[in-house]
Structure formats: C-alpha cells, structure tokens
Structure 1
Amino acid sequence: MLSGWRLALSKLFIIPQRYVFAIMAGLAIANAYTMRVCLNLAITQMVKREVLVEGDAHFDPDACPDPAAPVNVTSFIRGVARVDTTQFEWSEATQGLILSGFYYGYVLTHIPGGMLAEKYGGKWVLGLGLFITAVCTLVTPIVVEWGGAMALFALRVFEGLGEGPSMPGLMCMISRWGPKTERARIGSIVFGGAQIGNIAGSYLSGIIMHDGKWQDVFYFFGALGVIWFVLWIFLCYSTPNTHPFISDEEKKYLNANVDSLIHTNKQKLDPVPWKALLRSVPLWALIIAGIGHDWGYFTMVTDLPKYMTDVLKFNIKTAGILNALPYIAMWISCFFFGTICDFCVKRGWHSIPTARKIYTTIAATGPGICIIMASYSGCDTTLATVWFIAAMTLMGAYYSGMKINALDITPNYAGTTTAMVNGIAAISGIITPYLVGILTPESTLKQWRVAFWVCLAVLVVTNIIYIIWAQGEQLWWDDVKTHGYPAGWKHGPLTMREVDAEDTKKEVEEQKDKH
C-alpha cells in the first residue's frame, strides 16, 4: 500500500503515470531532436556563399530566382544580405561531413546503452545521455569559433556518444510501461516528440536567427535540454514497481498486462541470447527497414533546410517556418495512424504482424514518391512545399509500423534489440549528409533530384525485405522457457540455467568416469 505522502502525490496527477512517462519521454525525444537538428538550419547562416552569374563555370540556368540576393557583393549568407555574425568558408562536402559527425558517435554507444538500460533501468541511461547532449549544445558556439570545422565535427561526435544510449534506454522503459493494447498509442505520443523537436527546431531557429545570431540557437535549445533533465529526475522512473507514487490500481494493471513485467516478476532475466539474436532473420529484416527509415528521414531532416535555402531560395525566417510544416503534418499523422492501428487490432480486422507491414509500406513508399515529385516541381515553391508536407505526413505511419516492432518481437530484450536496430540504421545518418554533399557540389536542382532518386530506391528495397521476413509476435529466443527451441537448433543452450545444468551434468559424468 502507498504511504500517506505517496498517496497524496499520486492524487496530484489526473492522468495515469504511464502517460506521464509517455509525455515526458516525448519531450525527451523533442529535446534530443532540437539539439540534434538545430545545426542543420544554423549551418545555412554560418557559411559564406558565392553569388554565381551567367558565364561562371558552375552557373545553374535552372536556378530559382533569389529575391534577396545582394547586388555587387561577392558573398552572402544564404539569402540574407546583411553580414553580422561569424562566417566560415566550408565546401558542401565539409558541411556534409559536419552534419554527419553526430552519427559517428551515436552508432557506437547504442548497444552498450541498451545493455546498461536492461541491467540498471532506462531512467538514468536516457537522462544522463540527453544531459550530455544539452551541455555539448550549449558550448557549440564557443567550440566552433575556437577550432572551426574540425572542432565542430569532434564536438558533434561526442554529442552523438552521449545521445546514443538514449533511444535504447527509452525503448527499455516503454517495454516496462506499455501494455500491448496501448502500445501504438503510447508509441505515437513518445515518438511524436521527434516531430515536436523538428517543428520547434526549424520554426524557432528561423525566428531566432532572423532577429539575432546563429549562436543564440544553441544557447536556447541547450538550456531547454537542461530544464527537461531536472524534471525527468523527479517525475519518471525505470519501472512501475520502482515508482514511488504510482497508484496501486495502475501498478496492478501494468504488472498483469505488460509482457516484460510478467516475465521479470516470475524470474530474473537471463543475459542477452546473442547466439540466437544474431541469427534472427526477423530482427535483421527490422534492422534493414530501420536503415530505409533513417535514410529517408535523415535526408529530410538534415538536408531539407539546405534544399529550401540553396535551391528554392527562401530566406532564413521563411525557410524555418516552411521547414516546420512537414513535421507538423507528421506529428498529427502519427497519432492518426496509431489510433487507427490500435482500433483495427482490437477489432481483429488485422493482426499485429500485418499492421506493422502495412504501416511500414505506407511510410516507406509514399514519402519516396512525394520527394521525387517535389524535385520535379522546379521553382514552384508552393507545390514543392505541398509535396514535402505530403511526404512527412505519410512517414508518420512508421511509428505504428517498424518503429515499435522491437517491442512486439523482443519485449524482454527491447533495449538491446532497439540498440541494434537504431545503431546500425543510424549509419544512414553518417552516409546521407556526406553523400548529398558529394552529389550536390553546386547545389543545383538537377543534382538534388539525383539525391532524391537514390533515397526512393533505398526506401523501396528495404521495405520489400521487411515485408517478406518481418514478424509481429514474440520470437522464441526472447522467452525460451515458454516457446522452447526451434527444430534443428544446433547452437547450444541460451539461458544460464540450462548452461549451469549442462555443466553440472558434465561434472557428474566426469566424476562417474573417474570412478
């Protein structure tokens, strides 16, 4: 039973603690994305740009008119004639390398973060990871003005190291707080935070830099990250059973309806079954789908601000506002798809495996086609923006598809499997910005069209693989005691109890042989 003060605290909340967690987790992702992507828009104001005229070697005859281009000036800040901040002479390839720097560190700490979250709980793994990111964001202006491109690249790598464990830690917590029948809804609230982050990061960055300096963006979002961390410490806990003021009714409900809690309440979780995990075809199908998702998503998140300023010639304030619109659409659509998915599953209209494949297909092929259409819209800025909005609207279906599939197939080891999926898929974040930089050296419309065709190809191929081999129910190796071993398994026992039993049997046999 709850003590007096805990009971009083529990009554202060008008919504269940699992949704308090979902909201705070959504804000965690929002902060993570604002701090991760604010550089994407800020870099358009940090870099000098040469004005090309007809007759120059790289002049683009199909270039959109630039209403803000200065007259008789050889350089400017991407559509803004006034020069009142520090500017750097970085090539497109250098910018691509800087933008990809975050993901070099991000990839490395995913699996260690997932294992730590499963062993010690996700609260501190997630919280401290984002706190490190917040500190790195706050010091970005100082570091870049001191050490230039290489110092900024190194800082972004370190920032990625800090944020890498955050998603595995978060997924580990969702697996402890999310009942199966509410998983898509909770997932939509949590992962919808990514769109809040992209919206705020784009819109507010445009406003801040239009009226101030690019440095202010990093101070603002870094400070928000620190404030979130303080609230997270006091409001959220790794599991319902360690939460000090959750109601007895909700705790009882979650312990009866959350698979991972049911399992851990019965027995201690065994070490990660790597032998089976690395041989799991459905898990690798999920990883490949993650690569497709990240390729499309990072192409939009990282490079859309550059496309809007370089090709469509929006000024920084307009680019910030218009860059936010697709993410507003995606945020709304992820709730729509999540609600529809849960409704259809509860009614029995389709199974969970079918749902994951349907929504992943919508989220992969739809956006790929839309960004191609945007590139063929030429300088019709209204039509291009509509296509980008449509692309991100359809991409919202990912959160009812492959993004929560790890919770279906491996609820007990969701931290580690999410770490594998996100960690390997995040390699796309390393490749795409640098590849786009190489494919668009002069940032012309035709060069960008090639980059978008590459994106469509990756989305379609990875989705086909997912459709063929993905599953939506718990895999046998996630709970060997319940499901047993598949026919033909020749790789030895997975659980420590079986290993110990086998060792004991061998010792007994050896003793018999001696006698």
Structure 2
Amino acid sequence: MLQGWRLTVSKMFLIPQRYILGIMGFLAVVNAYTMRVSLSIAITEMVASSNETDSVDVDACPADNSSSSSGSVTDSNILYDWDETTQGLILSSFYWGYVITHLPGGILAEKFGGKYSLGLGILSTAIFTLVTPWVIYSTDGDWRILVLLRVLEGLGEGTTYPALNAMLAKWVPLGERAKIGTLVYAGGQIGTIVSNSISGALITATKDWASVFYLFGGLGMLWFVIWALICYSDPESHPFISDKEKIYLRKELENVSSEKKTIPWRPILTSVPLWALIAAQIGHDWGFFTMVTDLPKYMSDVLKFNVKENGLWSSVPYIVMWLVSMSSGWLCDWLINKGYMGITFARKFFTTIASLGPAIFIMVASYSGCDKYLTVGMFTVAMGFMGTFYCGMKVNALDLSPNYAGTLMALVNGIGAITGIITPYLVGALTENHTLSEWRIVFWISFGVFNVTNLIYCFFGSAEEQWWNNPNALKDQKLELENGGKEKLKAEKS
C-alpha cells in the first residue's frame, strides 16, 4: 500500500525531482535576497532628509521637478536622523552574522542533510524581517538595536549557500551542473529585482516603509512551508522520487559518497585551487555587494531619482544580469559537453568576462555625469557581464570536491561575504557629501579589486576534482603517514 501511494505521488510531479529541487533552491535564494536587500531601498525613505549644503560639487546633479528625490514617507514620527556612516553600519551589519554561520551551516548540511539547515535559516530570517518595523518603532529608531536585528537575520541566512551546495552535489549530475547551479544561484538577481522594484512602488503607495518588511517576511515563511513538504536532502531519502530518476542519479553521482565523512581540513586549507576560488569570490562579492547595497543610494543621492523611480531603475541591471546568467549557464554546459572547452578553461573564461566587463563599465557609468539614463545603461551593461560569474567560479566548488561541497561553499562564500561588511561601511565613509567625485573613488576601488582577484584565479584556479575528495585516497594517505611514522620510529630505535 505504501509503495502504491509513493508511485501515485511521484506521478503527480511532471518534472524530475532534481529540477523541483533546483526551482525551490532558486526560490530560496530569491527570498533570501528580497529580505536582505529590502533595507537598501527602504533606508532611503527611513532617514529624515537633510537641507545641509556645506560642500560644493561642480559635478553635482541638479534635482528636477519631474523626478524629485524628496521622500514618499511624510510622517516625521517614522523618519530617523542617521548620517551616512551610520547608514553604512546598518547596511553592513547583516553580513556580520552572515559570515559567522557559513561554516557551521556547511558542516551541518554535510552531516545531517541540507533540508533543515537551509529551511530553518530562511525561516528565522523571515521572522526577523517581519518584526523589523515593530523593533524600530518600539526603540524610537535606535540604530544599534536595528544593527543587532540585522546581525540576527544574517546568522539565519548564512546557512543558505553552503546547504544548497551540499544538496546540489547530491542531486545534480556533472552535465547539468552549470544549468541548475546557475538557476539556483542566479536567484540573487531575481530577488534583487523583485525587492527593488516592488519596494519602491509599495512605499510610494502606502507612504510607509514598514510594508516592505511585512511583505517579504511573509513570503519567506510561505516558502518554508512548501519547502518542508516537498524537498529532501538527497535522492535516497526522497519518499516519492521515481525509480528511473534514482537509478540515473546513482550512476551519474557515483563519486559522491553518501556515508558521513570526517572533513579533511588540512588538505582543504592548503589547496591552491580553493584559495584561487576564494580570491575570485572576493572579487565578485566586492562588486556585487557594492551594487546591491549601495546602488539605490547612488540613484537617490547622486542622480536624484525619487523612490519609485529608484526602485524601478535599480532593478534593470539585475534583469539583464539574470538573463545573461541563465543563457551563459546553458552555453557553458553546451561548450563543455561538445568538447569545445575544457571545464577548467570554461570556468576561467566565464569568470574573466564577469570580472573585466563590470570593472570597465562601472567606471564608465561613474563618468557619465548627470545623464541618468546613460548612467543606468552603463550600470546595466556592467551587471550583465557579471552574470557569467555563476557558470564560472560560482559552481567551481562542486568541481573541486562534490563530497565536501557544503564545506567548500561555506569557506568560499563566507570569506567572500566579509566584503559585505566592508563595502557598505566604506561607501558610507567615502560618500558623506553625496558627490560624484566621492563615488568615483568607490568605483575605482572596485575596478582594482575585480582585476587583481581575477588574475589570481586565472593563474591558480582549477576545475579538476581534488584528490582529497575521494575518501579512499584519504584513508590511503593516513595509512601511509602512519606507516611512515612507524618506520621512522624503528629506524631511530635501531
């Protein structure tokens, strides 16, 4: 009877379970980013506007009546006096917690499966997002309490990428790695698009920034309920996967061990390709977090877009980035499967495009002056190029070690996420006067980081499976070391 129920339920799913996992993983990242990014638009409407004009910038963009940057929120009781440096601290504080839970999240996902490591992390972030307005109101805008709340949100969301990577390693065959991996990780762009575009329109309609947190927190909780019901950590534990798909995945993923493993920390931490991958992640995250966290502020403070326009035009670059992400994922798999590119060359090729393109066009945007739409166009081209990161370096941890993919993603994404702490604070400190010249310094720094980290990846990166991915190879090395120690001891005695 149980077998019959399982077959009946499995027939209800018209697509294979690995694709359902990919779609739900994509929606997990979408929700994670809507909750993470919503503050970037909201904070432009949470701060009381200042009339101070102490500094003069010859390049300053004039505000015009058609797109005045005056706030949509008129209730002075929910506007707060936070200077640029304080805003930078608030925006960066999410990443203080985010960095901390990467490694524990990856280890837990590998030992016990990624389903609840990911699910509970998103759920906790959703709850903290929902209570954000109440916390701010009840503390009368005490920014230190908001910082603490954002740290807690980051702690919950820090498990997202390590848990997803651990699950993808057990669900996705090599020939589909770039496609499904790109689908999942490119959810960051869709989350940013949804958050930016809806936030601006919602705040304009409600005249209240709190509505943004209620909406995205509620959607995060809804995602968790669906995830808990239909997704599982691996094919073997899935109650209604088809036998055909299970057999196929067993064959394709035979190098992925299902037994609980001791993490080989020394080989991992001394792996040159891993550190090259970390360098590439730092370059990507530096540019991406600068744009995600601070582009709305640039649109508001420099280009003088109002909040509705800000949300709309801040979304455009990520629409193009998502389209490029998806198409380049298919292209990358096709080039590899046809033998036109080796895996290592493909990873480096697409990563280089994703580094040089944004580095160049972000700088061009900063020299586009006050031409709003030319500037948005250049930012859009820059972020479009950045979309090829996902089939390049973002799936590279799966190449290096499918068995320890969660741990590797925790290290790579966790260290890269430190830039999320640095960039908002740095931008706030460097742009106190909201001038074009100040922002150009920010973009020149990004230009340098992109290029240096890409060179490191090109010289030292690899997509070859590392020897320590094989548990048998690790056992052989351990025996060899033990035998070598015994032989050495005998020689000393004799």
For the residue of structure 1 that corresponds to 2:465, the secondary structure is coil
In structure 2, list runs of 5 or more residues that go unmatched. 490-494
Question: What is the identity percentage for the equivalent residue pairs of Structure 1 and Structure 2?
Answer: 51
SS of 2:402's partner is coil
CA contact (8 A) 1:440 1:448 kept: yes
Pairwise mapping of residues 187-266 of structure 1 onto structure 2 (< 5 A)?
187-212=181-206, 213-258=208-253, 261-264=254-257
Which letter maps to 2:184? V
Alpha carbons 1:173, 1:238 under 8 Å: kept: yes
TM-score, L = length of structure 1: 0.91
2:23 counterpart of 1:23: yes
- From 106, 120, 124, give the equivalent of 1:132: 124
Equivalence map 1:3-18=2 (5 Å): 3-18=3-18
Count of residue correspondences: 488
1:473: how far off? Answer: 1.4
Residue 173 (structure 1) aligned to one of 150, 162, 167: 167
Query: Amino acid of the residue matched to residue 222 of structure 1?
Result: G
CA distance in 1, matches of 2:173, 2:7: 23
Distance, in Å, in 2 between the alignment partners of 1:297 and 1:141 is 27
1:110–1:420 Cα contact (<8 Å) kept: yes
How far does the alpha carbon of each residue in 1:62-91 deviate from its partner, in whole angstroms, 9 at most, with x for none? 221212599xxxxxx952376125111111
Across the aligned residues of Structure 1 and Structure 2, the Cα RMSD in angstroms comes to 2.3
Output the CA distance in 2 between the equivalents of 1:293 and 1:161.
21
Instruction: Please give the alpha-carbon distance, in whole angstroms, between the structure 1 residues aligned to 2:484 and 2:364.
Output: 66
Q: How does 1:358-377 map onto structure 2 within 5 Å? A: 358-377=349-368
Q: Is the 8 A contact 1:68 1:80 kept in 2?
A: no
Provide structure 1 residue ranges, at least 5 long, that are not aligned to the other structure: 71-76, 485-493, 511-515
- Give 2:386's aligned amino acid: M
Contact 2:353–2:388 (8 Å) recurs in 1: yes
Residue of structure 2 aligned with 1:91, choices 80, 83, 88: 83
Are the equivalent residues in 1 in contact too, given 2:72–2:307 (CA < 8 A)? Answer: no
Distance 1:384 1:347 in 2: 39
For the pair 1:156 / 2:153, whether they are aligned, the reply is no
* 8 Å Cα contact 2:189/2:322 also seen in 1: yes
Residue aligned with 1:3, SS: helix
| 1:345-384 equivalences in 2 (<5 Å) | 345-384=336-375
- 1:480-499 equivalences under 5 Å are 481=472, 484=473, 494-495=474-475, 499=478
Q: Distance in 2 between matches of 1:285 and 1:500?
A: 30
Q: CA deviation at 1:146?
A: 2.5
* Letter aligned with residue 274 of structure 1: W
Letter paired with 1:58: S
Displacement of 1:165 in angstroms is: 1.2
Distance 1:47 1:387, change over 3 A: same
**CA distance 1:62–1:279, change in 2 (3 Å):** same
Is the CA contact (8 Å cut-off) linking 1:338 and 1:399 kept in structure 2?
A: yes
Which residue identity does 1:153 align to in structure 2? Answer: V
Are the counterparts in 1 of residues 72 and 204 from structure 2 also a CA contact under 8 Å? no
1:19-77 Cα distance to aligned partner (Å, 9 max, x none): 0000000000000000000000000000112134xxx421333221212599xxxxxx9
- Residue 41 (structure 2) pairs with residue 50 (structure 1): no
The answer to whether the 8 A contact 1:69-1:79 is kept is no
Secondary structure (helix, strand or coil) at the match of 2:434 reads coil
Give the structure-2-normalised TM-score: 0.94
Shift of 1:189: 1.2
Aligned AA (2:4): G
| Equivalent residue letter for 2:238 | H
Alignment of structure 1 residues 325-474 onto 2, 5 Å: 325-474=316-465
CA contact (8 A) 2:108 2:117 kept: yes
> Letter of the aligned partner of 1:264 in structure 2?
S
